[in-house]
Amino acid sequence: MKAITYAGKEQLLLEELSVPQITTDEALVKVKYGGICGTDMMIYAGVHPRAKTSLVMGHEFSGEITKISSGTSFKIGDKVAINPIRYCNECEPCRLGNYHICENLKYIGIDLQGGFAEYAKIPIENLHILSDKVKEDEAALIEPLAVAIHTVRRSQFKVGDNVTILGAGPIGILIGIIAKISGAAEVIISDVSKYRLEVAETYGLITVNSMEMDLIEKVKMTTKGVGSDVVFEVAGNQITANQMISAIKTQGEIMVVSVYKKAPIIDLANMHFRELSLSTTRCFSPKDFEAAIKFMEEGRIDISRLISHRLPIESFKEGFELVKESKNSLKLLFEL
Ligand SMILES: NC(=O)c1ccc[n+]([C@@H]2O[C@H](COP(=O)([O-])OP(=O)(O)OC[C@H]3O[C@@H](n4cnc5c(N)ncnc54)[C@H](O)[C@@H]3O)[C@@H](O)[C@H]2O)c1
Ligand SMILES: [Zn+2]
Ligand SMILES: [Zn+2]
């Protein structure tokens, strides 16, 4: 089978590998679509702390079961979403039910062989059946949607709040969509990419191109000078690390979603005088993943406009370069 493997900093290979052998606890999944995410870009850039060479990349993917032992609730031909989180069930966070922050967490596509391949072997407990209401390509976005649901649920966001999102990448826009359907008053989203902001606007978000407009002025104008109740930082650089403190109201909450490639300087003195809260978030719980599937099945969210490209796996180099440049792409899917 064909698979995209990590071979070192900015080196990916399209390799011919054997189709994985499965145990009775696993299923063989024919992958249909796999999405590139910010974390894949960290691996590609050679700055991910855990990814090792020979890794089959890809943690956002969907597919169909082609091999499975009898006696499970799944069968050959079932359309499935894959929750990529493996946890130990023994550490303190696991004992408290916080599997997503397991001290020994392993992610399919980061620590374990992933889904940028024609086939993937997946533990049965990581599979979720999908009805025909979810399109195969959109099913690859269940994982990032679960991230957005978890982020909003973990924050102090309440119905009627004003929200600012820094960064209109797939995660930023998905957070905007979830905040909007959860009853946000106004959702402002900033970016430096005209294309990404145009897509964000179709979801009813107030867009700010921070190259052309003063974001803080826009936040103040929209919130009668008060500032946002919650700011989601989803761009991950020093400029947005400064803006998150200026955009927030007194006693507001900053939710850092980004994984910073370089540690930013945070103005704690400024935060202290206004009693600001600073929170972080990591992946999603099983409940968030199930909610993401439910929202898709019930058609409550139309995420189709987030898919900017569908490329064959042979165009892997072009795909990664398009996402690296980021200006004219959003979610790029490999078709397998
Ligand atoms: N917490 C988690 O569990 C989790 C999960 C997934 C992704 N992430 C992280 O979330 C972040 C966003 O993910 P993504 O896939 O949407 O990434 P992305 O790179 O596609 O999006 C980031 C966006 O920020 C924009 N940006 C850059 N400078 C800006 C500025 N000065 N002002 C406004 N916007 C600016 C970029 O143009 C880009 O559109 C990444 O850091 C990623 O690693 C975190
Ligand atoms: Zn991801
Ligand atoms: Zn654990």
Place of tokens 């109740």: 229
Q: Are 152 and 179 in contact (CB under 8 A)?
A: yes
Closest CA to 200 of 164, 248, 224, 231: 164
Once rounded to an integer, what is the mean pLDDT over residues 1-5? Answer: 98
Tell me, in angstroms, the distance from the centre of ligand 1 to residue 92's CA: 30
Tell me what percent of the residues of the chain surpass a pLDDT of 90: 98
Check residue 261 and give its pLDDT: 85
Site to substitute for ligand 1 among 257, 282, 308, most atoms within 8 A of C-beta? 257
pLDDT in tens, 68-96: 988 899 999 999 999 999 999 999 999 99
Tell me what percent of the residues of the chain surpass a pLDDT of 70: 100
Residue-range domains of the chain with CATH: 2-145+284-335 (3.90.180.10), 156-280 (3.40.50.720)
Point out the ligand nearest to the CA of residue 141.
2
Q: Are 277 and 253 in contact (CB under 8 A)?
A: yes
Pairwise CA distance, residues 227 & 110, whole Å: 38
pLDDT in tens, 17-66: 999 999 999 999 999 999 999 999 999 999 999 999 999 999 999 999 99
Which residue has the CA at smallest separation from atom 38 of ligand 1? 169
Q: Provide the residue type at 190 as one letter.
A: S
Average pLDDT of the residues of the chain? 97
Place of tokens 């993401």: 292
pLDDT in tens, 101-112: 999 999 999 999
Check residue 326 and give its pLDDT: 86
Point out the ligand nearest to the CA of residue 190.
1
Q: Is the CB of 240 under 6 A from ligand 1?
A: yes
Q: Is the CB of 35 under 6 A from ligand 1?
A: no
Q: Is the CB of 38 under 6 A from ligand 1?
A: yes
Q: Are 116 and 334 in contact (CB under 8 A)?
A: yes
Strand partners, 108: 112
Phi, psi for 201 (deg, rounded to 5): -65, -35
pLDDT in tens, 141-197: 999 999 999 999 999 999 999 999 999 999 999 999 999 999 999 999 999 999 999
Closest CA to 175 of 216, 146, 139, 143: 146
Q: Which atom of ligand 1 is nearest to the CA of 37?
A: 15
Pairwise CA distance, residues 169 & 177, whole Å: 12
